[in-house]
Structure 1
Amino acid sequence: MSLKEVLAKKIEAHRPRTTRLVKEYGDVKVGEVTISQVIGGMRGIKSLVTDISYLDPMEGIRFRGMTIPETFAALPKVPGSEYPYVEGFWWLLLTGDVPTMEQTLEVVADWKARSQVPEYVWDILRTMPRDTHPMTMFSAAILAMQRESIFAKNYAAGKFNKMTCWEDMYEDCNNLLAKLPTIAAYIYRMKYKGDTPIAPNPELDWGGNFAHMMGIGKPYDDVARMYFILHSDHESGNVSAHTTHLVASALSDAYYSLSAGINGLAGPLHGLANQEVLAWTQNFMQKLGGKLPTKEELEKALWDTLNSGQVIPGYGHAVLRKTDPRYTSQREFCLKTPGLKDYPLFQLVSMIYEVAPKVLMEHGKAKNPWPNVDAQSGVIQWYYGVTEYDFYTVLFGVGRALGVLANITWDRALGYPIERPKSVTTDMLEEIAGIKK
C-alpha cells in the first residue's frame, strides 16, 4: 500500500479512540492549573494531544515511541551513508510504522514529482531587499504558495467533508515539504553566494539534494539528513508547533499554518537560539585569547560569566533534565568525522560540556545543567562553511516542517476543533488567590 493508503487505515482505526475519550470520559480531570501557569506562559499545562512525538524529561524526544538512536538505527539508510532517508522518517511520523526501503523510495519519488517551485516564488524573493532576514523570505515564500492549496480550493468550491478533508491537508503538506529544501537553498545562494542558485539534482534524496543545492560537498549531505530529523518535532507545545496547530485549527490550510509556525520559530527564545549560542562560543574563545583554555581556565571563565549575571547559552531546557539526545547525536557525528573532531571550536564546545554542568550545579540556579541541541548545532554548520548566523533558523525551519505538518495532518483527520482557551482577568486571579483589596 502507498503511504496515503496506510495513513488512511491508521486514521480509521484511531478515530473511535478519540471519539470515545470525549463522549465517555470527557469529564475526567487530566490535571490542575495554577496561577503561576496561567501567568507564566501555560508552562507544563497538559492541554494538547499529539502522537507524533513525546518529550520525556529523562530520555529526551521520542518519535512515535522511538528514541533518537532507535530512530536512526531502524530507518532505511541512503546508500553509502550511515544516516536514513528523511523521506522514510516522514513515513514514520505519519503512520508510526518503520517503512521498508520500497516504501521509503516511494516517498522519495513522490516528493521529486512534487518538487517544482512556482516561478512567481522566485520573483517575489528577488523583489525583496537583499538585507531582508532569510526567515522573512522563507515565511513569505511559503505564504505566497497558498494559492496552490488543494484544501483551500476545495473548501471554496463547497467540497469540504469533515471525514475526508485530511486528504487535502495530506496533499498540501507533501507538496510543501517537497519544495522547502529548494526554496531554502535558493534563499541561501541568492542572499549570501553572489546570487548563484544551484539547480536540483533529480537523482538525489531530500537531504542529499539540499546539500547539493547549498553547494557543499560530502559529508554535508549527512549533516542535512541528521539535522532535519533531529529538529523535526518536539511535542506540540513549543511555539512553532503550537502556532502551526493553532492556525490550522481555524481550518486554515497548510501554507497559512506553516508560515505562521515559521514566524514563531524565528524568535530568539525559540529557533534563533542556536545562532546566539555559536556567537557566544566564538566570543568566549576570543576572550580566552583565541586558543583552547585549560579546564581550570575554562571553569574560572564560566564562573565569571555566571557571576556577572549572564547565562551559559545552550545549557538548560524547559523539560529535559539530562543531556539533550539531539546534542549527543551531533556530538557523536563530530567525534567520528575527520577534521571536525579536531576543530578548535568543537574542542571548546566539548570542553564546555565537560566543565559547565559541574559549574551550573554548584551555582545552584539551573534546573537542568546539561546542554540542549543549540549548544552543538551551530558549530557543525560553521565548520562546513555555513557561516551566516541568520540562516541557521531557516535550516531549523526546514526540519521543523516535518513534525508540524505531520501533526496538522492528524489534527485534521481527527477533526480537532478550533482552539479557544478561556482567559481571566487579574482581578479574578486575585480573588481566587484570596487577595483582599
Structure 2
Amino acid sequence: GIRFRGYSIPECQKLLPKAKGGEEPLPEGLFWLLVTGQIPTEEQVSWLSEEWAKRAALPSHVVTMLDNFPTNLHPMSQLSAAITALNSESNFARAYAEGVNRTKYWELIYEDCMDLIAKLPCVAAKIYRNLHREGSSIGAIDSKLDWSHNFTNMLGYTDAQFTELMRLYLTIHSDHEGGNVSAHTSHLVGSALSDPYLSFAAAMNGLAGPLHGLANQEVLVWLTQLQKEVGKDVSDEKLRDYIWNTLNSGRVIPGYGHAVLRKTDPRYTCQREFALKHLPQDPMFKLVAQLYKIVPNVLLEQGKAKNPWPNVDAHSGVLLQYYGMTEMNYYTVLFGVSRALGVLAQLIWSRALGFPLERPKSMSTDGLMKFVESKS
C-alpha cells in the first residue's frame, strides 16, 4: 500500500488534524508530517495555515501573465509557465548568486517551497476563473481559513462537502514515492540546484503527460461512453460484455492497474468511502461501484494484468463531477497543486542531505546491441 512516513492513509485520516466540524485530514498536517516525520498538533497546523495565507499574494507580473494567456492554452501549460515566472521571487536563487554557504541551501529551499505552496491555489484558481468563469476575481485570502478552504472559495465553490472533498483530494494525491514522473523530474532538476520554482514547473510538465496526469479524465470519458452505449441502468452481464469488448479491441480499462501497487489503491478506497457517505445514489458513483465488483474478475480471467484492482483515478473524476466541477481538462491542475506537498517536501530533504547532481549512466546503440548479443 501507500504510506506517508510510515503511516497508512486510514491512519493519516484518523491522526492528522481536521478543520473544525470537518472529518477529513487537512493537507497542512500531511505536509508537516512529510517534512518533520511527526504528526502535528492542531496548533501547528493552524500556524501553517496562517503562514501560507500570509505568503499567498502573487506578484503583479504573474497576474498580468495569467490574465493574458490565450484561452486555448492548456491549463497545465498555464500552470507551468506561471510557476516558472514565480522564480523571480526565489530566495534560494538570489542567495546562491551571492555565494551562500551550501550548509544554508536547505533553509532557503524551505522558504521557497513554503512560498510556492502558499501561492499555488491562487495561480490555479486564477487559471480556472479565466478559462471557465469569464475571468471573474478569485477574491482575497482569508487568514482564518485553511489552505483547502481558501482554494475552494477562490475557485468559486461554497459547498462545505466540496471543501471536505478537496481536503481529502489534496492530501491523498500529494505523494507516492520518488520514482513517478513528476517526483523524479523535480528531484532531477533540483539536483542541478535549480530553485524550487524551476524544479516544480518541470515536474508539472511531466504531470501534464497523458501517461501520468490524465488518467482520471480518461476514466470519465470511458464511463460516459459506456453509459451512452449500454444505458445508465445496466445489468452486471451487459457490463461484463462491455468490459470484454473493450479488452478484446486492444484497449485497457482506465482506472485499473498500477505500475507499483499490487492491491486496491488505498486512495481509491478512501474516495469510495467518501462517496458512500455523501453521494450513495449518484448514478455515476453507482456505476463505478458496480465496475469494482466486475472488472477485477474479468482482468484476472484474461490473465494479463499484474494488478487487476482499481487505482486512485478510477474515482476522483466522478467525485469532482458530482460537485459541479465538470471541466475535465482542469483536473490535472488540482493534481498538481496536491503533488506540490510531496515533491517539495522531498526537495527540502534532498538539499538538507546534500544529494549530488543526478547523472545516470548512458549507453550507445552499439553498446546496447553488444549487450543484447552477449545475452543471446
Q: Shorter-normalised TM-score: what interval?
A: over 0.9
Give secondary structure in 2 for the equivalent of 1:369.
coil
Confirm or deny: 8 A CA contact 2:181 2:212 kept in the other structure: yes
TM-score, with length taken from structure 2: 0.97
* In 2, Cα distance between equivalents of 1:209 and 1:246: 31
Q: Counterparts of 2:306 and 2:366 in 1: how far apart (Å)?
A: 31
Kindly report the root-mean-square deviation, in angstroms, between the aligned alpha carbons of the 2 structures.
1.3
User: Match for residue 217 of structure 2?
Assistant: 275
Q: For 2:226, give the aligned amino acid.
A: F
Match of residue 385 from structure 1: 324
Report matched runs for 1:195-274 at 5 Å.
195-199=135-139, 200-216=141-157, 217-274=159-216
Q: CA separation in 2, counterparts of 1:361 and 1:151? A: 51
2:255 maps to 314
Matched, 1:193 2:193: no
Amino acid at match of 1:326: R
Counterpart of 1:121 in structure 2: which amino acid? V
Offset at 1:409?
Answer: 0.4
Q: Which residue of 2 aligns with 1:374?
A: 313
Residue deviations 1:349-398 (CA, integer Å, cap 9, x gap): 11111100000000111111000101100001111111111100000000
Inter-partner Cα distance in structure 2 for 1:152 and 1:284: 50
Whole-angstrom distance in 2 between the partners of 1:108 and 1:202: 7
**TM alignment of 1:39-188, pairs within 5 A:** 60-159=1-100, 161-188=101-128
**Distance in 1 of aligned mates of 2:328 and 2:186:** 24
Cα distance in 2 between the residues matched to 1:402 and 1:144: 20
In structure 2, what is the equivalent of residue 416 of structure 1? 355
Larger helix share, 1 or 2: 2
Equivalent pair of 2:26/2:171 in contact (CA under 8 Å): no
Which aligned pairs between 1:323-334 and structure 2 lie closer than 5 A?
A: 323-334=264-275
- Separation of aligned partners in 2, 1:227 and 1:375: 13
Partners of 1:308 and 1:176 lie apart in 2 by 44
Query: Could you state the TM-score of these two structures normalised by the residue count of structure 1?
Result: 0.84
Give 1:183 shift.
1.2
AA of the residue aligned to 1:141: A
> 1:436 and 1:166 mapped to 2: Cα distance?
45
Q: In the alignment, residue 356 of structure 1 is paired with which amino acid?
A: V
In 1, Cα distance between equivalents of 2:172 and 2:259: 17
Query: Structure 1 counterpart of 2:275, which letter?
Result: C
Rounded Cα–Cα distance in structure 2 between residues aligned with 1:303 and 1:197: 47
Counterparts of 2:355 and 2:114, CA distance in 1: 21
Name 1:18's counterpart in structure 2. none
CA distance in structure 1 between the partners assigned to 2:148 and 2:241 by the alignment: 41
Aligned-partner residue type, residue 352 of structure 1: L
1:359 matches 2:298: yes
Q: Matched residues in 1 for 2:230 and 2:312: separation? A: 24
Is the 1:181–1:210 Cα contact (8 Å) retained in structure 2?
A: yes
Q: Distance in 2 between matches of 1:373 and 1:68?
A: 12
SS at match of 1:151: helix
Classify the secondary structure of the residue corresponding to 2:184: helix
Which runs of structure 1 show a deviation greater than 4 angstroms over 4 or more consecutive aligned residues?
A: none
Q: Aligned partners of 2:222 and 2:166: how far apart in 1?
A: 23
Maintained 8 Å contact 1:78/1:85: yes
CA offsets 1:24-73 (integer angstroms, 9 cap, x no match): xxxxxxxxxxxxxxxxxxxxxxxxxxxxxxxxxxxx21000100000111
Aligned to 2:371: 432
**Superposition deviation, residue 426 in structure 1:** 2.9
Equivalent residue letter for 1:119: S
Which segments of 5 or more consecutive residues in structure 2 lack a partner in the other structure?
Answer: none
Letter in 2 for 1:175: D
Alpha-carbon distance between aligned partners in 1 of 2:23 and 2:323, rounded to the nearest angstrom: 18
State whether residues 315 and 370 of structure 1, in contact with CA within 8 Å, keep that contact through their aligned partners in structure 2: yes
Structure 1 unaligned regions, length at least 5: 1-59
Which residue identity is paired with 2:126?
Y
- Equivalents in 2 of 1:370, 1:394: separation in Å? 25
Q: Is the 8 A contact 1:201 1:212 kept in 2?
A: no
Equivalenced residues, count? 374
**Amino acid paired to 1:248:** G
Contact conserved, 1:185 with 1:197, CA < 8 A, in 2? no
1:398 aligns with 2:337: yes
Task: Give the C-alpha shift of residue 435 in structure 1.
Answer: 4.6
Confirm or deny: 8 A CA contact 1:77 1:85 kept in the other structure.
Answer: yes
